[in-house]
Structure 1
Amino acid sequence: MSQEDAAAGSRQKDLGAIFASIELSKKTWLLTSMSPGAGDKMSRHIIVGGDIAGLFAQLSTLRRKVRDRTGREYPFVIIQEAGLDGFWVHRALAAEGYESYVVDAASIATSRRKRRVKTDRLDGESLIRTLLAFKRGEPRVCSMLRVPDPDEEDRRRIVRERKVLMEERIRHSNRIKGLLFSQGIRGYDPLRRDRREQLETLRTGDGRVLPLHMKRQVLRELDRLELLIEQIKGVEAERDEMLANERQSTREVALLSQVVGVGPEFAAVLWGEGLFRHFENRRQVAAYAGLAPTPWQSGSIDREQGIGKSGNPRLRSTLLEMAWLWLRHQPASTLSRWFNERVAQSGGRFKKVMITALARKLVVALWKYASAGVIIEGAVIRS
């Protein structure tokens, strides 16, 4: 036997499982697999997108072929990228007893060529290699996601829907202001309760009554705006009800709600987007919030590139907003004094940089408070 044949046989012997990757898209799913007894050869099978029964049938066929070839039963280890399909495919695989992983696609190392080749075939092979390295225990080869359970995933819908509705409300309000501004009308606020009465009294910049079709367009925009306002009220009522139930059953939510400056929306985002997870240390907390620093060091070069922004974008934007409000509601806290001292030393030029640092310190302090009960020094806590 040649050395190449011996090496191939050793690889086949050490494989120990059927490794498979699933490339998910709307029309088709590409199943790529590496099986014991087949050497380095990878097989590929196309399945109609969304056909979970067809996927299970193909996996059963692969297992039967491996059993016929080797005389042994092998388990499956399956990987897929996080994407538009969410986590339902992973949950279906786990319910059938398959070992399944969901990977952050951005964490997989790729070629740094100016123009790299990208196809579903190559992506499937890359996922297989990543999965093999991960199972061998290679450090930092990729980032596997912690898949939330259905209740945790559903709980996040409230704050995310409210954010979408608020963005739509801003767009409609700005559109109305823009339409009226084109006629020389300033100062009209579409969010006032008397917006329709105020519209009747408006006059253009040259003294004319508001044109007929312009007025009808604004009224239709107001109809959509008022619908959004009612939907936002309904979502906020659901959020408050959810928080009331969580405060009764979850210690962390009860503690967060007692901090002055942390209102219902902040508490819902903090708990639903981040702090319900388990973190080992403060670095993991800052990294998940996208507030961890990203140094660039090479030889004599040593500089900072700013925050990574690779974590949860909703949590990061909320923490930056909360940091500004923390200075107003908690001026005597150690964090606020630290910020004010640093800003005073730099003459106020680096407020945006320092508010990011304050947000990072704040999320770590809130994590310690919610998880271990460590009181934030100097902060006012409601009884």
Structure 2
Amino acid sequence: MATVYVGIDVCKEWLDIHLHPLGRSFRVTNDTAGLRRLKRELDALDQMPRSALHIVMEATGKWHRAVQRSLHADGFYVSVVDPAQVRAYAHAIGRRAKTDPIDAAVIAAFVLATKPEIRPLRDAETQALSELVARRRQIVQMVVAEENRLRMALAKQAQKSIKRLLKALRRELESLDADLDSHIRKSPVWRVREALLTSVPGVGATTARTLLAELPELGSLDRRQIASLAGLAPWTRQSGKWKGKSFIGGGRGKVRAVLFMAALVASRYNPDLKAFRDRLVAAGKPKIVATVATMRKLLTILNAIIRDGRPWQNA
């Protein structure tokens, strides 16, 4: 049975839907009633089984997540794709106009052309952990911003205001850390995995918890796949005899950010990774290139540690 690709353009008020190759489009409200109507419409497609429907939407934060969870809970196959990739595809096929119905059709055509993988939806506990980790990151950013303002402030009244806010933010940070500790303790698997990850010199609790929340595939993929997922797989530019510099990008930016800091620490305190980075620098590699290579090697090590269930051991 041929697959029907269902492109959904998600916004706060509406869901615009396009069915490819049926060529049918319609709109429903982005609420419980609208989702019920969408499911009825999909179930009424000549009695097609849900396994023959592939639903795709762009990542739009909380709006797409609510729709994704609802459809996934009812047994539909759902993929979430990068909006930048969809827009690039639209330009490639000459589709310059941009409206919600057009976007829904482009999304459906994009998935037909690229066949994105259907990944399992995060469970509620992992989603809650991800939100706690994200909130902690936001509080840390606010603390850093206020500390910078304190260094620049001259008026005593302004300094007092900043210090009061810093005190409140640090209390909130302590409270979030306690919430994270409690959340991790609820899961024996998370407790074991956190202990395994933090056994590696240079990897602290913040890095471990970010990986648990944002990279649940850790330990289940090979080294190339996990590097690609984190956006650490280098891609090259080459044409004829010309060869440009390699770059990294895409993937999960939050994972890449914590791995960068972990790699800097590991380059000082982890004997194996320090030796690895030093060899690259001694061979003439720029320091940032050596650091990125260290990030990739660190991720490979962490992936193997979770896969094998064995803590770090010095070589």
Query: TM-score, with normalisation over the residues of structure 1?
Result: 0.72
- Structure with greater helix percent: 2
Structure 2 partner of 1:265:
206
User: Which residue identity lines up with residue 350 of structure 1 in the other structure?
Assistant: P
Question: Match for residue 47 of structure 1?
Answer: 28
Within the alignment, does 1:152 sit opposite 2:126 as a pair? yes
The 1:107/1:282 distance shift into structure 2, 3 A limit, reads farther
Q: Which residue of structure 2 aligns with residue 127 of structure 1?
A: 107
Give the counterpart letter for 1:237 in structure 2.
A
Residue in structure 2 matched with residue 336 of structure 1 by the alignment: 274
**Root-mean-square deviation (CA), in Å?**
2.8
Match among 338, 352, 356 for residue 288 of structure 2: 352
Residue of structure 2 equivalent to 1:229: 170
Structure 1 unaligned blocks of 5 or more: 1-13, 35-39, 67-71, 134-139, 181-213
Q: Could you say if the C-alpha distance between residues 57 and 249 of structure 1 is closer, same or farther in structure 2, counting changes exceeding 3 Å? A: closer
Confirm or deny: 8 A CA contact 1:21 1:80 kept in the other structure: yes
CA–CA distance in 2 between the matches of 1:62 and 1:285?
34
Cα shift readout 1:302-337 (whole Å, capped 9, x = no counterpart): 333321x21111111111111111122222x2x321
Distance 2:191 2:185 in 1: 10
Cα deviation, 1:247-303, whole Å, max 9, x if unaligned, reads 676543332233333222222122222255464311111112211101113333333
Deviates more, 1:219-228 or 1:103-112: 103-112
Structure 2 unmatched runs, 5+: none
- 2:58, 2:82 within 8 Å by CA — same for their partners in 1? yes
SS in 1 for 2:57: strand
Q: Of residues 54, 71, 80 in structure 2, which corresponds to 1:102?
A: 80
**Distance of 1:45 and 1:111 partners within structure 2:** 24
Give the structure 2 partner of residue 211 of structure 1: none
1:362 — aligned with what? 298
In structure 2, the residue matched to 1:194 is: none
**2:2 counterpart of 1:21:** no
Matched, 1:116 2:93: no
Higher RCO (CA < 8 A, seq sep 6+): 2
Deviation at 1:24, TM superposition (A): 0.7
Distance in 2 between the 1:255 and 1:25 partners? 41
Q: Percent identity?
A: 26
Match of residue 305, structure 1, among 218, 228, 246: 246
Q: TM-score, normalised by structure 2?
A: 0.86
SS of structure 1 residue aligned to 2:127: helix
Closer, same or farther: CA 373–59 of 1 in aligned 2, 3 Å: closer
Give the corresponding residue for 2:58. 81
Residues matched between the structures, number: 309
Q: Secondary structure at the match of 1:368?
A: helix
**Which has the higher Rg, Structure 1 or Structure 2?**
1
